[in-house]
Amino acid sequence: MPNMSVKNASLMGLLLFSLAGNTMKAQRVPTGIYAVVHVEEVVSPFQIEGLSKPAIDKKLVSFYGGLLSNAAVSGLALQIHWDTLNPHSPPHTNPYFWNYLDDAFSAVASWNSSNPSAAPKTIQLIVTPGFNSPKWMLDELTSCDGLFYSPEVVPPASCGKVTFSNFTEGGDGMELPLPWNTTYQAAWKTFLQALATRYNSNPAFVSIAIAGPTAASAEMIMPNDSNCGDQTQFMVDGGADIKPTKMWEALLQLAYPTNSVYWASDQAFIDAWDQAIDMYGEVFSNITLVATTGSGLPTFHSAKSTFPPPTAPIDFTPDCAGTESMDCQAETKILSYFVQLSAGGTNAKATQTSGLEATREGKLNLGMDAVKYLSETTAGGTAATSQILGGAQINSALSKGDKALKIGGSAIVEQALFNTLAYFFTGTNAASFYCEPAVETGAFGPAPLNYLQIYYPDIQYAASNGPGTVTASCFTGSLSAQDELNSASSNLISIAEP
């Protein structure tokens, strides 16, 4: 395994190569297909095997290189937890552990230097705090759990974390830092500044997902009554059973005792997201900031007339046509801030859905259709709004278990992939390849799209499996998953915004 100095030399080599051989626009943007890697899941078997850190690094560089060798892949989308990268508090001699990211940048540098005539491959980062926050940071926060004890033990209004059980997205623990807690926000910013210092100037780094007021992913999702398995939360130490929404009501009244605007409202989450957008705009420069919708903020009320989506600077009404709820109103309010010219600093901006499934077609509620709507409405930028690029992540690996049927509507991986890509490209100038319209009836279009994130097992499946029979409304033919990825990559490059 190359030691750290060799890795850094590789990264510097990529920087020099890029500066010498590429004319880059001021803002780096993702384009094409990105292989999604949940880093902790890939590393876990190596750790169980008892491999040393240098041995794990060597395996990771090889693993990343294998994905990059696929001609359809434009780069890597790395999902990694804050507690993995920041195991110790900043006063510690070595607060950060960058190896797994360095391995990826090293693999990209190696591929790019070996293929100077090809488009350089790049990296998207999805770093998640929330339930994945480091223990040292959580230990600095006072727990709010006393609110739910029996008898109640009222914590200070400044308490900063609470325990949620049964959260379906999981996470590294059950303690969640409250999005509005300033200690949590400050620690997260300190980490992001260290991350930017290490990678922002590297030309392979093209985007980062905004996170912070989040749970186990970068999506706009918090524990709520539906994503906790519709189960009550059971607080140990004598606490009574209680639903997540009721927990949020109590937490908000504790945190904002004199301002009823925040009671039984998503306003605190909206504020935290707006602050996170500003913070990322301050910390990072000339890359792409990604806002990921999630249909998962608490909904305290559902009256449509009470919670309309904003209509300026963009009319977000179509995004919530299927379900006008407090969640949809809150997420569109966040997006209405994100699209403003003053938000995000010197960075480009994108929105994505990370739950792309063909079986969700036609269900707006801030999914794929909403991404297309925003990318088309803001194409090229306007006098009042920034250009917002469009992207998506397939919900999980189609080639694993019964996911092909669940996500793509077919047990055959090739057909499921085709169906998912057809939904993704419908309403774009690449739609005809999938027998779909470039402009849907009653909808905007054609929409530009920049990237699609596909979990790495599907990239590996495509590289090692032959063709299958694929049927669409205008043809039946033999296509391999690799054929489909090659076409999707080419189509993305042709319809992407610069």
pLDDT at 19: 33
Note the pLDDT tens digit of each residue in 451-473: 999 999 999 999 999 999 999 99
Write the single-letter amino acid at 464: S
Is the pLDDT at 237 greater than 60? The verdict is no
Give the helix ranges, DSSP H, for 430-480.
456-464
pLDDT at position 383 is 86
Mean pLDDT over each residue of the chain, to the nearest integer: 90
Beta bridge partners of 209: 290
> Can you give the length of the chain in residues?
498
Q: What is the pLDDT of residue 295?
A: 87
Rounded to an integer, what distance in angstroms lies between the CA atom of residue 177 and that of residue 50?
32
Q: How confident is the model at residue 103 (pLDDT cuts 50, 70, 90)?
A: very high
pLDDT in tens, 274-292: 999 999 999 999 999 999 9
- Taking the C-alpha atoms of residue 305 and residue 436, their distance in angstroms, rounded to an integer, is 35
**167-180: per-residue pLDDT in tens?**
888 899 999 999 99
- Is the pLDDT confidence value at 137 over 50? yes
Question: pLDDT tens digit string along 193-236?
Answer: 999 999 999 999 999 999 999 999 999 999 988 887 655 555 55
- The H-assigned helical ranges of 449-480 are 456-464
